[in-house]
Amino acid sequence: QVRLVESGGGLVQAGGSLRLSCAASGITFSTYAVAWHRQSPGKEREWVAVISRLGSTTYADSVKGRFTISRDNAKNTVYLQMNSLKPEDTAVYYCKSSRSSDNYWGQGTQVTVSS
């Protein structure tokens, strides 16, 4: 059974930092691209960042320069380091692993940034 479990969310003041983790089981994580998405109340889920199997990264303009995605294949884990957080970063953050037609989502972790 495939499971993706996000952790590391919480409440932080504007300007602060959090590091999210996405731990996978049941799949060979290193063969998947992994992305972070987020969804705020009343808004569509939006893509935040992605890391390829080989480690190349791409970011949404809204987080570029503030967020860093990385992976540790030995630990089957992908991270999202979030710095200089803003109230508009408040959302539930989800990780998604993708390989061809195989896509798996985690259950999400809440990030709340207070002003």
Distance CA 3, CA 105 (A): 8
- Note the Cα 43 to chain centre separation in Å: 17
Between these two residues, 29 and 52, which has the higher pLDDT value? 52
- Note the Cα 99 to chain centre separation in Å: 17
Render pLDDT for 68-107 as a digit per residue (tens, 0 to 9). 999 999 999 999 999 999 999 999 999 999 998 899 999 9
pLDDT of the residue at 80: 98
pLDDT of the residue at 28: 87
Render pLDDT for 8-34 as a digit per residue (tens, 0 to 9). 999 999 999 999 999 999 998 899 999
